[in-house]
Structure 1
C-alpha cells in the first residue's frame, strides 16, 4: 500500500458496504416511508375535520405529550400537515438516528473487532479508506431514508417544500448521530460499548429536547442543545424555515472530520480509551449458562426497561385528557378498539398492548443473541468446555423467560401509575400490572418461535423473527383502521390476548399460546442438537 494514498480503495469499500447493507437499507426505507404514508392516511380518517383536529391539539398541552412528541407548532390552526409533523416527526427522527448508529457501529467498529478489517488492510487499502467508506455508507442510507420520507408525504397528499424539508431533516439528523457513533467507535475497542455510548448520546438529546420543550412551548435554550430539536424547529407545514438544518449539517461535518482524525491516532483494533483489565477470577454467576446470559443481556434489558417505563408513565398521564376531547373525534372507534362509555379502561388497555410491542421486540433480540454468540465464536468455547447444547439453549431461554415478565410488570405498573396520577384512582396501578402479565404467553410464544428458527433454520432466524415483529406492530397500529380480516389479525399473538382490563378474561387463547411456546422450545432444542454449530 502506498503511504502517500491514505484514501486508496475508498470507492470500492463504499460499494462493498452498500452491497452488504442492501437488504437492511431497503427494510429501513420501506418501513419508515410506509409508516409515514400510513400515518397520514390514518390521521386523515381519524380526524376528518378541523373540529376533530383541534380537539386532538388540546391534548398537546399536556407536558407528557410535549415530551413524547415535541413543540406543538400550529396548534391554533391544526392542519393535517401540522398534525402529521407533531405526531410523527419525533418517531421518524429517532428511528433514522438509531439506524445510522447501528450502521456506523457495524462498519466502523464491528468489522474491525471481528478481524475482517485487518484482512482488508493487508490489501492496497488506505488508512482512512475504511472509516470514510463506512461513513459514506451511512450518508447514503440517510439520504435514501430522507428521500423515502419525502416521497411518502407526496404520495399521501402532503408534498411540496415542507415534504422536502422533512426528508432533509430526517437525513441530516440521522447523519449527525451516525457521526456520533463514528466518534464513539474510535474511543472504545468494543463495538457494543461504542454503540451503547452513541445510543446514550441519543437518549440525552431526546431528554434535552423534551425537557426544553416543556419549559418553553416553542423551545427553550435547553432544546437547542439537541440535534432533534434542530430538525423540529424547521416548523414544517406551519412556518417553514430552513436555517436550523444548517446546524445539523455543520455538526455532522465536524463530527465526521473528528472521526477520521481520531481514526488516524489509534492502532488498528484498539480504542483511544485503554481497556480496563478484568478481575483475576470470574464471579460465581458467570460460571453458569444463566449467569453468562444475564451478563450479556444486562445492557439490552436495562435499556428496554428504562424506555418502557418512561413511555408508560408519559402515555398514562394522557388518559384524562383523552376523555375530555373524545366527543369531538367522531372516528375514534375506527382507530382504536374503544368503549366510549368506559374510555379510560379502553385507552389504558390499548396503550398497554402498544407497550407490549416493545417487550416483544426485546424478546426477539434476546433470543437472536444466541445466534450472535455462535457467529462470534463464544458459543463454541462454552460447548467445547463440556456444556451440552440443550443446557446452553435452555439456560439462555430461561433468562429470557424471567426477564420478559419483569418488563411486562414494568409496563403495567408505569402505565397504571400514570393513569392513577391523572385520574386520582390508585387502583389502576394494580389492575394494569395484572393485565400486563396476561401478555406473557403471547411474548413467550414469539420467543419460542424465534428459538425454533435458531435451532432449525438459523440463517433465516433474524429475517423471519423481525418480519413477525413487523407484522405484529402493523396489526396493532393499522389493523383496526384498515379493517384487516380476523384471520390476518390473529396471526399476531398479541391480538389473541384479551384487551384487559376493558375486555373479559379468556383463558383458552392464553393456554393455547403457552402450549405453543412449549412446543416451539422443544423444537428449538431438538434442532440445535442436530445441526452444525454454524449451520
Structure 2
C-alpha cells in the first residue's frame, strides 16, 4: 500500500524527524479554533480589563497606596495573590491577576499539548498519521508550536490591554504570563511521554501546576517581598518576581522590572523541551515509560456505575482535596476582608453585589461560597464530558454490546458528575468553615444552595453531548462565560440582563438573609428537565455520530 504524504512534508535529510510538522500544526489550530480563542480572550481579557475595575475602586493615589500597604501586611492575602510591588494601577493589576493568570496559562498549555500528543496516540489517530510521511518528533513539535501560538496571543492581549499603564510594565507582565504557560507546556510534553493515558498525563501536569501554586503560597505567606526560597522554587513565583510595573511606584524592594527573571523561564523551558524530545525519540508510538498496571484476572466491577466510579475516582479525589484546601484558604482570609475594603465605599458595594447586602463579613463569605459553586460547575462539565471521551475512544460500544442500556451506562457517569459536584461543594464549604473557625452549619447550607446552578450548567453540557456530541465541548464555553460573569460582573457593574445569563445570579446570597426558595426550586426543576431531555435524546441517536 502506498503511504499518503501530507502536504509540505520533507522526505530526505535531517528534517525527516520533523516531516509533517506544518500540516500537523495547521490541523491542531483548526481543531482548537474555538477553544484557544476562548482561553485567550477570557484569561487575557479579564487581566487586561482589570485596570478599569481598579480605577473605579481606588481612584486616587492615596487609596491605592493604602491598599498596597494593607495587602502587603496581610499574610493570608499574600499567600493567595502574592506581595504588592507597586501601588500604581498597573502594579495592582499585576498583583491581583498575575498568579492566577500564570496558573491558567499553564492549564491551557497542558490541555493543548496533551490533546495533540498523548490523546492522539491513545485514540489511535497518531498511528494512522504516522503511516504517512510524518517524522517521529513532528507531533510533539506541532503540539508545542500550537501552545506557543496560544501563549503569544495571550501575552499580546495582556500587553495591549495594559499598555496605557506603562509600556515596559505591560510587556513584562504579558511576557511573564506567556512564558509561564510555555514552561508548563513542556512539563505536559514530558508527562505525555511518561504515561500511557491522556487522563494520567493531565493529572500529573495538573499536580505540578498545583504544587507550583502551593510553593508560591507558602513562600509568600512567610515573606512580604517574594524573596522566600519556596517562592523561587515555583514558576508561579517567578511570574510575580518579574515585578511588572515596579518602575511606577515601588512599594517593596528596588525599582524597575526584573527582566532577567524571564531568562529562568527560557532556561527551564529549554531543559524540559530537550527532555521531552529525548524521551519521544526513545519510545514507540502508543507506548510509555511508566508501565501500566494490569487489572485482575477476574473482573471486580459488575455494574456500569461501578466502572464509572472506577474511571473517575482519581479526578474526583483531586477536586475534593483542592476544594477543601481552597476553602480553608478563603476562610483564613475572612478576617482580612475588612483590610481589603477599608473605608472604600465602592469596594464595599462590589462585595455586597458579589455576596449580598448583609454586612461585610457575611458578604465576603457568601461571595466565596459563590466562587466555589461556580468553579464546581467546571467539575460537572468535565465529568459529563467523560461520556463523550468514552464514546469517541470506542470504549462505550463493548459495554453497550452486553446487557447494559444506554441510560444505565450514562447514569453511572451522571451519578459521579452530579453527586461529585455536590461533594466538592460541601468540602469547599467545610474548608471555608474550618479556615474561618465557626458557622459551619450556615456555610454548609450555603454550599448546598449553589447546587441547582451547578447542576443546571452540568445539564446544559449533558444536553449538548446527547444531541450533538461534536459540540459537547461547548459546555466549557458556557461554564466559562458564567464564571466570567460571576467573577468580574460585580466589579464592572454589568447590566442586570447580562448578569441574569448566569444561573448563579438568581440564587440567594448565603449566609445572610432568609432563603428565597423559589429560584432554588426553579433551577432544580430546570436541571432535572435538562437531564431527562438529555437521556431521552441519547437513547435515540446513533453512537459516535
Q: Per the shorter chain, which TM-score range?
A: over 0.9
The equivalent of 2:207 in structure 1 is: 200
Alignment counterpart, residue 92 of structure 1, candidates 101, 120, 123: 101
Alignment counterpart, residue 465 of structure 2, candidates 454, 457, 463: 454
Alignment counterpart, residue 69 of structure 1, candidates 76, 81, 89: 81
RMSD: 1.9
Could you tell which deviates more after superposition, 198-207 or 171-180?
Answer: 198-207
CA distance in 2, matches of 1:392, 1:467: 26
Describe the superposition over 1:123-178 as per-residue Cα deviations: whole angstroms up to 9, x where unpaired.
12222222222222222222121112111212xx3240111111111121111111
Q: How does 1:352-501 map to 2 (within 5 A)?
A: 352-420=369-437, 426=438, 428-463=439-474, 465-501=475-511
Note if 1:300 corresponds to 2:315.
yes
CA distance in 1, matches of 2:453, 2:543: 29
CA deviation after TM superposition for structure 1 residue 55, in Å: 4.0
CA distance 1:353–1:153, change in 2 (3 Å): same
Query: Secondary structure of 1:315's match?
Result: helix
Query: Secondary structure of 1:328's match?
Result: coil
Alignment counterpart, residue 46 of structure 2, candidates 32, 35, 45: 35
Q: In 2, are the aligned partners of 1:185 and 1:191 still within 8 Å (CA)?
A: yes
The equivalent of 2:252 in structure 1 is: none
Note if 1:21 corresponds to 2:32.
yes
The equivalent of 1:423 in structure 2 is: none
CA distance in 2, matches of 1:469, 1:479: 15
Q: In 2, are the aligned partners of 1:149 and 1:166 still within 8 Å (CA)?
A: yes
CA distance in 1, matches of 2:419, 2:135: 48
Q: In 2, are the aligned partners of 1:55 and 1:329 still within 8 Å (CA)?
A: no
CA distance in 1, matches of 2:515, 2:235: 45
Describe the superposition over 1:343-373 as per-residue Cα deviations: whole angstroms up to 9, x where unpaired.
1111111111111111111111111221111
The equivalent of 1:117 in structure 2 is: 126
Note if 1:49 corresponds to 2:73.
no
CA distance 1:326–1:212, change in 2 (3 Å): closer
TM-score between both structures, scaled by the size of structure 1: 0.93
- Extract unaligned runs of 5+ from structure 1: 421-425
Q: How many residues align?
A: 521
Describe the superposition over 1:58-78 as per-residue Cα deviations: whole angstroms up to 9, x where unpaired.
13423221221123323xxx2
CA distance 1:6–1:46, change in 2 (3 Å): same
Q: How does 1:166-315 map to 2 (within 5 A)?
A: 166-218=173-225, 219-238=227-246, 239-283=256-300, 286-315=301-330
Alignment counterpart, residue 59 of structure 1, candidates 60, 71, 96: 71
Q: In 1, are the aligned partners of 2:90 and 2:162 still within 8 Å (CA)?
A: no
CA deviation after TM superposition for structure 1 residue 11, in Å: 2.5
CA distance 1:448–1:71, change in 2 (3 Å): same
Could you tell which deviates more after superposition, 145-154 or 446-455?
Answer: 446-455
The equivalent of 2:23 in structure 1 is: 12
Note if 1:329 corresponds to 2:344.
yes
Q: In 2, are the aligned partners of 1:147 and 1:167 still within 8 Å (CA)?
A: yes
CA distance in 1, matches of 2:340, 2:125: 57
Q: In 2, are the aligned partners of 1:55 and 1:328 still within 8 Å (CA)?
A: no
CA distance in 1, matches of 2:166, 2:88: 14
Query: Secondary structure of 2:24's match?
Result: helix
- Extract unaligned runs of 5+ from structure 2: 1-10, 247-255
CA distance 1:164–1:450, change in 2 (3 Å): same
CA distance in 2, matches of 1:350, 1:254: 42
Query: Secondary structure of 1:123's match?
Result: coil
CA distance in 2, matches of 1:384, 1:103: 33
Query: Secondary structure of 1:162's match?
Result: helix
The equivalent of 1:164 in structure 2 is: 171
CA distance in 1, matches of 2:17, 2:158: 36
TM-score between both structures, scaled by the size of structure 2: 0.91
Describe the superposition over 1:17-65 as per-residue Cα deviations: whole angstroms up to 9, x where unpaired.
2222222221111112211133221111112223432443313423221
CA distance 1:255–1:325, change in 2 (3 Å): closer
